[in-house]
């Protein structure tokens, strides 16, 4: 059976072409699946009954299997989704004053092994399919609508999710072939119709894939920097040994030529005594002076067995001040959903049969306590 959540506009057009049907059928079905959030081909009442039966014989709408669904005291909601063979991934809904953001996962586990990340610690199992990525947005919109969730930005009967960030489990650019069709569905006016500015891909810096994304489907870009020099970044983000900072920053500038926003957001996780000194901020400011950018400082979120500590608030504020004085817009990410372990880098899911296909470099720096 074909899962309709697996098909972007091109895929749906090919599906109906094979049936000898007119191209507008693809749009009609896209509206049903992604806008009316139908769960069953039988619901598509503006298709003739014989056509519905032909479609239903070949295709279905197969959403994610939910293992758990938890809401935090601040309204953040986390779903644990079964992705088979004992693996699970998480997605998180984050309501804010003016938007509803969904943080989606793109892989079961992650091979890139960043020292401070819970997903990375688990190793890698497999890439999520297009249906498993798109199904997250489909399911969240559907459930929130069914629950009658209200918020100032939600128009009557319209989808509650206004923004998508690819910041859940996994490295999106390491699952390029499935992430790009999923992005196209997020952006497609006949599907979710999100603007490119409201879809943000976060990457640890896979330079060749970033260059491809610039051509294939540019969306807003966040880059996980976390260090202002190669020696430290090699330890924290091991992929830096393959694509060092100079290459990554050059790729950011190339990307900006096509990007929907005229800046890159640099994410910087604040690790006590590791990368949070005022001098580190000055070094960082020098490093990125030729890249139009903003900074988002992320207080590190703990998880069991991790060998880091979160920078004290005063240290984060001092770091922010150095960047601000150097002329960079710098925000501190508010930690959301803490009481349900839904914060950045805490998404653990469940990864079994992992290949341990990592870079072959273990990178666990001993955090110094000296400030």
Give DSSP secondary structure letters for 171-199: -GGGGHHHHHHHHHHHH-TTTT---GGGE
For 104, residues 6+ apart whose C-beta sits below 8 A from its C-beta are 91, 133, 136, 137, 164, 165, 166, 167, 168
- Closer to ligand SF4 by CB, 76 or 203: give it: 203
Among the residue ranges 52-60, 66-74, 324-332, 343-351, the one whose residues contact ligand SAH (CB under 6 A)? 343-351
Residues 6+ apart with CB under 8 A from 298: 267, 268, 269, 270, 333, 344, 345
Q: Is 178 or 224 the residue whose CB approaches ligand SAH more closely?
A: 224
**Total number of residues binding ligand SAH (CB under 6 A)?**
18
Q: Choose the contact partner of 143 out of ligand SF4, ligand SAH, none; CB within 5 to 8 A by kind.
A: none
| Contacting residue, 33, 110, 166, 232, with ligand SF4 by CB under 6 A | 110
With beta carbons less than 8 A apart as the criterion, state whether 166 and 172 touch: yes
Residue 186 or 300 having the CB closest to ligand SAH: 300
Q: Assess whether 96 carries a catalytic annotation.
A: no
When asked if residue 267 is in the footprint of ligand SF4 (CB under 6 A), the reply is: no
Measured between alpha carbons, how far is 34 from 37 in angstroms, rounded to an integer? 5
**Distant-in-sequence, close-in-space partners of 103: CB < 8 Å, separation ≥ 6:** 91, 92, 93, 94, 165, 167, 168
Q: Catalytic residue at 267?
A: no
Residue 125's binding partner among ligand SAH, ligand SF4, none (Cβ under 5 to 8 angstroms by kind) is none
Query: Does 301 contact ligand SAH by CB under 6 A?
Result: yes
Site string for ligand SAH, 87-126 (x = CB under 6 A): ---------------------------x-xxx--------
Please identify, using beta-carbon distances, which residue of 59 and 114 lies nearer to ligand SF4: 114
Q: Tell me which of 114, 217, 293, 344 is the catalytic residue.
A: 344
* Residue at shortest CB range from ligand SF4: 120
Tokens matching residue 285: 């400011």
Nearest to 29 by CA among 49, 5, 58: 5
For 41-86, the three-class secondary structure string (H helix, E strand, C coil) is HHHCCCCCHHHHHHHHHHEECCCCEEEEEEECCCCCEEEEEECCCC
Rg value, the chain, Cα = 21
What span, in angstroms and rounded, lies between the C-alpha atoms of 88 and 125? 10
Asked whether position 343 contacts ligand SF4 by CB under 6 A, the answer is no
Beta carbon nearer to ligand SF4, 75 or 367: 367
- Helix intervals (H) in the chain: 9-18, 24-30, 49-58, 118-121, 130-146, 176-187, 207-216, 230-236, 245-256, 278-287, 313-325
The listed partner (ligand SAH, ligand SF4, none) that binds 269, CB under 5 to 8 Å by sort, is: ligand SAH
For ligand SAH, the closer CB: 28 or 122:
122
Q: List 69's β-bridge partners, or say none.
A: 79
Residue 232 in contact with ligand SAH, rule: CB under 6 A: no
Pick the catalytic residue: 90, 132, 171, 267?
90
Does position 120 interact with ligand SF4 (CB under 6 A)? The reply is: yes
Q: Is 26 in the site for ligand SAH (CB under 6 A)?
A: no
Interaction between residue 204 and ligand SAH (CB under 6 A): yes
- Judged by CB under 6 A, the stretch of 39-47, 65-73, 76-84, 340-348 that binds ligand SAH is 340-348
The distance of Cα 149 from the centroid of its chain, to the nearest Å, equals: 23
Which residues make up the interface to ligand SF4 (CB under 6 A)? 110, 112-114, 117, 119-120, 170-171, 204, 224
The catalytic site residues sit at 90, 344
């Amino acid at each position: 059976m074909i899962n309709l959540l697996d098909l972007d506009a091109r895929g749906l057009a090919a599906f109906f072409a094979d049936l000898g049907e007119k191209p507008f059928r693809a749009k009609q079905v896209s509206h049903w699946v992604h806008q009316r959030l139908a769960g069953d081909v039988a619901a598509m009442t503006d298709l003739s009954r014989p056509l519905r039966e032909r479609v239903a014989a070949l295709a279905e709408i197969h959403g994610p299997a939910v293992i758990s669904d938890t809401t935090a005291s601040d309204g953040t909601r986390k779903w644990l989704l079964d992705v088979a063979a004992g693996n699970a991934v998480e997605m998180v809904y984050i309501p804010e004053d003016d938007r509803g953001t969904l943080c989606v996962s793109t892989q079961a586990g992650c091979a890139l092994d960043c020292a401070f990340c819970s997903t990375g610690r688990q190793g890698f199992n497999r890439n999520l399919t297009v249906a498993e990525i798109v199904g997250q947005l489909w399911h969240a919109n559907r459930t929130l609508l069914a629950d009658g969730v209200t918020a100032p930005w939600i128009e009557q009967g319209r989808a509650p999710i206004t923004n998508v960030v690819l910041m859940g489990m996994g490295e999106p650019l390491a699952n390029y072939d499935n992430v790009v069709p999923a992005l196209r569905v997020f952006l497609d006016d006949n599907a979710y119709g999100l603007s490119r500015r409201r879809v943000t891909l976060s990457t640890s810096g896979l330079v060749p894939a970033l260059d491809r994304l610039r051509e294939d489907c540019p969306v807003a870009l966040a880059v996980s920097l976390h260090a202002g020099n190669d020696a430290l970044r090699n330890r924290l983000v091991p992929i830096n040994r393959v694509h060092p900072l100079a290459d990554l920053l050059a790729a950011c500038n190339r990307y900006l030529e096509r990007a929907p926003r005229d800046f890159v957001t640099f994410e910087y996780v604040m690790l006590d005594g590791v990368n949070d000194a005022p001098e580190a901020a000055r070094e960082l400011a020098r490093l990125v002076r030729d890249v139009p950018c903003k900074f988002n400082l992320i207080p590190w979120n703990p998880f069991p067995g991790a060998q880091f500590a979160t920078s004290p608030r005063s240290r984060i504020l001092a770091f922010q001040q150095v960047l601000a004085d150097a002329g960079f817009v710098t925000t501190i990410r508010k930690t959301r959903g803490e009481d349900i372990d839904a914060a950045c880098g805490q998404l653990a899911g469940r990864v079994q049969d992992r290949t341990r296909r990592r870079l072959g470099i273990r990178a666990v720096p001993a955090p110094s306590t000296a400030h």
